[in-house]
Amino acid sequence: MSFNVNIGALALCLAVLAPWASGQEEEVSFREPLFFSEVDKEMRTPQAVRVGGVVFVAAMSSPGETLEQQLRTIYIRLQSVLGNYGLRMQDVVQERVYLKQGSDYEKAKAARLLVYREGGGPALSLVEVAGFEDGETLVEIELVAVANPEEG
């Protein structure tokens, strides 16, 4: 019995890896990436990916001297990314906010209230990190949004 299961698992792995191993590129039709630049496209690092009705937005940062400036610009950019998929901030179901300084939790929560004015807002994770690639970055935000099936 376990021999048959192992053969089945091996066959599945080969079917999934065959195009990759042979150098063939095959885009999965239900997956729609959003690239900000040709470099992002070449490196295959999209800013967002839609899979079916769910959009995953990678952590985004912004220049700015203060946390508030960075948050304001990040939320504008996030709205723009979602708009590319026909979504709005009200469609966000999960948000992760990465902060350089844990003492900024309350400021980050206050900025969210300006964005999510209606309803309960998305599930939130506030995470303090040791730092970011860019030394000037104070905050990064990533999102998961879901299309409302009633809006088509």
What's the whole-number mean pLDDT along residues 120-145? Answer: 94
| Residue labelled with tokens 């844990």 | 102
40-49 tens-digit pLDDT = 778 887 889 9
Report residue 92 as tokens.
């966000």
Topology of domain 29-151 in CATH is: 60s Ribosomal Protein L30; Chain: A; (3.30.1330)
At 52 the three-state DSSP class reads coil
The pTM assigned to this predicted structure is 0.75
Could you please report the per-residue DSSP string of 58-86?
Answer: EEE----SSHHHHHHHHHHHHHHHHHHTT
- Per the model's pLDDT, the better-predicted residue between 12 and 32 turns out to be 32
Report residue 42 as tokens.
């070449």
**pLDDT band at residue 79, thresholds of 50, 70 and 90?**
very high
Backbone dihedral region for residue 57 (phi beyond 0: left; psi -120 to 50: alpha; all else: beta): beta
**pLDDT band at residue 125, thresholds of 50, 70 and 90?**
very high
- Please state the domain extents for the chain: 29-151
Tell me the residue type at 99. L
- Distance from the first to the final alpha carbon of the chain: 46
15-45 tens-digit pLDDT = 444 444 445 444 445 677 777 778 777 888 7
Give the number of other Cβ atoms within 10 Å of residue 69's Cβ: 13
- Per the model's pLDDT, the better-predicted residue between 100 and 24 turns out to be 100
